[in-house]
Amino acid sequence: MKTNYYNQTGEEVLVKLDSSLDGLDSAQIKERQAKYGPNVLESKKHTTLLQKFIAQFKDLMIIILMVAALVAMFAGEVSDALIIFLVVLLNAVFGVFQEAKAENAIDALQEMTTPYSRVRRNGTVMQVKSDEIVPGDIVLLEAGDIVPADMRILSSSSLKIEEAALTGESVPVDKDAAVITEENPPIGEQSNLCFMNTSVTYGTAEAVVFATGMQTQVGHIATMLDEVDNSVTPLQKNITHLSKVLTILILVIAVVIFVFGVATGRETVLDMLLTAISLAVAAIPEGLPAIVTITLALGTQTMAKRNALVRKLPAVETLGTTEIIASDKTGTLTQNKMTVEQLYTDHQLVSAEQFKVSPDLRLAQIMILANDSQETPEGLVGDPTETALIQYYLDRGMDIKQVQNAYPRSNSVPFDSERKMMSAIVDHNGQAYLMTKGAVDEILQRTTRIEDNGEIRPITAADKEKILATNKDLALEALRVLGFAYKSLTTEQSQAEATSENFENDLIFVGMIGMIDPQRPEVKDAVSEAKSAGIRPLMITGDHKDTARAIAIRLGIIAEDDTAGVITGRELDEMSDEELKQNVAKYSVYARVAPEHKVRIVKAWQSHGKIVAMTGDGVNDAPALKTADIGVGMGITGTEVSKNASDIVLADDNFATIILAVREGRKVFANIQKAIQYLLSANLGEVLTLFMMTMLNWSIFAPVQILWINLVTDTFPAIALGVEKGEKNIMQRKPRGSKSNFLSNGVGSSIIYQGILEGLITLGVYWLAIKFPVHTTSAQIHADALTMAYATLGVLQLFHAFNSKSIHGSIFTKETFNNKYFNLAILVSAILLAMTIFVPAFNSTFHVTTLDLSQWGIVLGAGFLLVIIVEIVKFFQRKFIYTEE
């Protein structure tokens, strides 16, 4: 019988679930995890290795090839049939390997991005993976969290939850713990329940879990829909479309070769059929989608090691097109911790590193004593500004406890946002003192004296003018400035009521400090690298305009003389969307900006055709993260809502990590491009060679020769090209833009000329072997010529793999052999190719003869000739066309 938890009180629900406000104990958790399983929605199960293997034989071209092999076997061509079967089998093995590799990479990625929840177990609040939650767990919710399971609210404060995933209603719903007396209310009216995968937009709550995984409301919906997500990326769609177009062209050529061969009586119908089918199978790049998936998946793993967790595979490649990176300041460009940078005392401004600290200095005493932060085993706890004051002295080896013990606090006047100051009343050897810190201008209004080089004297107008001028200079450098003052108290004064009126007057000014949330040390270089890569970095912050400008200058986002590059949220509000669109290129810094302004900024840049990456960590950042081409969530400070709205999550909240991810994205695209150029140009060379051999009435390759060349020269090198290291100048190139594709930047034309070149060189070697034979009999001459052509086509493709390591760059560099997987792939391919000629037992199977040294010289010379010609073309391309390379 179904339990309606909304009709029961929180106490009744806890009893029903055998839980308590202290949460479950370890034994209960273990038992329930075994009973209920992981708290996840069932996803499409991976197929077994056997199922993957069988699926490889469902491809139409493979089926046709197997039928052809059976026909060959019945016709007596047993060796040909066996080789064809072997090639098909090896292709299937490679296909299984590729698919399993991609799945494993994606699974590892999902494990890294598993969300966490705060729960109370054994009376202790802890963070656990959401998939480990069980019924009876007590979960603590706050704004920004994704609800991890179906729960009954036990207590709440101003709780609002957005339940669009279940109800379609985008307006957040008010939630509380009150019992609902109505029977069977709609889900949208079950106000004391919260449901899995909904979003907390406001407030806090404690709730007890009553359903997990597929037993939740969203689990029931998933069961009803029973939809399968094939997760086909746009890239894979583009590659599949390209493959289909090429398939049609190749099939047409194969039919022409078959018809012409049969019509001219060159070969038997069976031989020509096998040749045409073999050519089609060898030339169609059916492995491209798998190579793309593997390259993307491996890219995600590389990024994860560098603290960029990719949630959506296409984002890896899209990063390579990024032209604008709009980043939050705090925690991403800066360290998100206040640090003392300058100290002003005795009318001298001294850097924090050069200032000589001492427990006897009055400035040090006030900084330590007018301070509410506490030391704990886990570190300092308190207001970030106050903890920074204590940390400054701890970092310099001062005994803070000595000062605090020598001046015990007896009372205090707490901070007030109106007067912008706080004071502590302390005792030292029977004398009471007031120690005050706060805004410089407020303190000066209450100051009558100044401590100058150990002497206390009346403060003058000139003193105040110099202090205020220094205060302004520090503020213009993006420093937060605090002033410090004190005075001695009489016994009567010290016993008065602790109010500002009673204490904070007739003060002695001691000095001031300038603090800053310092930039991350690696960010300035990352900003510079982004600019050299043609990417424009933008800074978005809630800070004042002057502070934002100073930080941006420090980081190199804007130049020091750039007075127009900063705009405030208020100025944005005064602009229409059209005005912002027209003027957006003027601004690199957005100060006093609210999260809702971010969507307008993104759309304004996108209206100019720019690819925009946007960072965010709050609930209100989610719309901007969704709107941006690349949403970048913060892994440390980010809410679950912002992370789920993002394409990429930064595990270290660091701007420099975004630039590393962009570099990886560019590398991934470049590697896919290299694999495409290599495969298509090699396949074009094969098609052209066989077509011209047929048209010229020459001997043509046997089906096993075509298939073997395709197997050994395509598979290993193409996969190895997918894991090439990024070229050194990859971040000196401009972003390729949203309209580019895999055939852009000269790749399409390179495929054509390089394919034609491979075909012509192969045909040239065949012609040379006929014209300048080593043997005398016609049969032997033609057998040698065909063997040399076969060897040449294979060697050309292996040499061409080195050409493909760079689209336009020269291979005559020390980076040519920097990929050990590529080197191994070439070596294995070369051995497999050479075996068919050097091992006599394979000669008859592959219809080849043994070649002498002079013939091998011609074959290897042909391979070098291809490299030389391509290098010459690349030289002119670099010099006159692709100068950014």
For 34-43, write each residue's pLDDT tens digit.
999 998 876 5
pLDDT on residue 620? 64
Report the C-alpha gap between 79 and 85 in whole angstroms: 10
Give a yes or no: residue 408 inside a domain.
yes
Q: What mean pLDDT is predicted for residues 138-164? A: 87
The enclosing H or E element of 489 equals strand 480-489
Residues identified as active-site = 328
Q: What mean pLDDT is predicted for residues 805-824? A: 86
pLDDT on residue 110? 47
pLDDT on residue 701? 84
Q: What percent of the chain has pLDDT over 90?
A: 39
- CB 769 within 8 Å of CB 640: no
Q: In terms of domains, do 358 and 329 share one?
A: no
**Looking at per-residue confidence, does 396 or 647 come out higher?**
396
- CB 763 within 8 Å of CB 703: no
pLDDT on residue 15? 92
Q: In terms of domains, do 785 and 807 share one?
A: yes
Q: Which long-range contacts (CB under 8 A, 24 or more apart) does 171-180 make?
A: 172/201, 172/202, 175/203, 175/205, 177/10, 177/153, 179/6, 179/7, 179/8, 179/9, 180/6, 180/7
pLDDT on residue 871? 93
What's the CATH number where 600 sits? 3.40.50.1000
Which tens digits make up the pLDDT trace of 313-367? Answer: 667 777 878 899 998 887 788 887 889 999 999 989 999 999 999 999 999 999 9
Q: Which of 158-172, 673-687, 697-711 has the lowest mean pLDDT?
A: 158-172
Give a yes or no: residue 62 inside a domain.
no
pLDDT on residue 62? 64
Q: How far is CA 241 from CA 250, 609, 736, 751, in A?
A: 14, 25, 21, 17
Q: Which of 66-70, 190-194, 445-449, 703-707 has the lowest mean pLDDT?
A: 66-70
Nearest in space to 806 (alpha carbons), one of 825, 822, 792: 822
pTM of the model: 0.68
Give a yes or no: residue 443 inside a domain.
yes
* Structural domains of the chain, count: 4
Give a yes or no: residue 741 inside a domain.
yes
Q: Is the dihedral of CA 637, 639, 642, 646 positive or negative?
A: positive
Q: In terms of domains, do 504 and 583 share one?
A: no
Domain boundary among 516, 539, 574: 516
pLDDT on residue 362? 95
Q: In terms of domains, do 567 and 671 share one?
A: no
Q: In terms of domains, do 328 and 344 share one?
A: no
Q: In terms of domains, do 205 and 279 share one?
A: no
Domain housing 26: 5-39+133-213
Report the C-alpha gap between 69 and 74 in whole angstroms: 9
What's the CATH number where 459 sits? 3.40.1110.10
pLDDT on residue 2? 66
Report the range out of 171-175, 204-208, 550-554, 875-879 with the highest average pLDDT: 204-208
How many residues appear in the chain?
885
In this predicted structure, the answer to whether residue 60 has a pLDDT above a threshold of 60 is no
pLDDT on residue 770? 93
Q: In terms of domains, do 607 and 546 share one?
A: yes
Report the range out of 432-436, 670-674, 676-680 with the highest average pLDDT: 432-436
Which tens digits make up the pLDDT trace of 571-593? Answer: 998 999 999 999 999 999 998 88
Give a yes or no: residue 441 inside a domain.
yes
Report the C-alpha gap between 219 and 389 in whole angstroms: 51
Burial letters for 10-20: b for 16+ Cβ neighbours within 10 Å, e otherwise? Answer: beebbebbebb
Nearest in space to 656 (alpha carbons), one of 621, 622, 624, 615: 615
Q: In terms of domains, do 575 and 718 share one?
A: no
In this predicted structure, the answer to whether residue 261 has a pLDDT above a threshold of 90 is no
Compute and round to an integer the Cα radius of gyration of the chain: 36
Q: What percent of the chain has pLDDT over 70?
A: 86
Q: In terms of domains, do 702 and 842 share one?
A: yes
Q: What is the signed CA dihedral for 319, 320, 322, 325, rounded to 10 degrees?
A: 60
Give a yes or no: residue 230 inside a domain.
no
Domain boundary among 597, 629, 653: 653
Domain boundary among 483, 516, 549: 516
Q: Where are the beta strands (DSSP E) in 644-728?
A: 648-650
Report the C-alpha gap between 98 and 92 in whole angstroms: 10
Give a yes or no: residue 121 inside a domain.
no
Q: In terms of domains, do 685 and 649 share one?
A: no
- CB 193 within 8 Å of CB 153: yes
Q: What mean pLDDT is predicted for residues 416-432? A: 89
What's the CATH number where 202 sits? 2.70.150.10
pLDDT on residue 885? 44
Average pLDDT, the chain: 84
- CB 526 within 8 Å of CB 352: no
Q: In terms of domains, do 416 and 527 share one?
A: no
Give a yes or no: residue 371 inside a domain.
yes
Which tens digits make up the pLDDT trace of 273-293? Answer: 777 776 676 666 656 666 776
Q: In terms of domains, do 474 and 599 share one?
A: no
Which tens digits make up the pLDDT trace of 487-539? Answer: 999 988 888 888 999 999 999 999 999 998 888 889 999 999 999 999 999 99
CA 132 to chain centre: 26
**Looking at per-residue confidence, does 157 or 740 come out higher?**
157
What's the CATH number where 790 sits? 1.20.1110.10
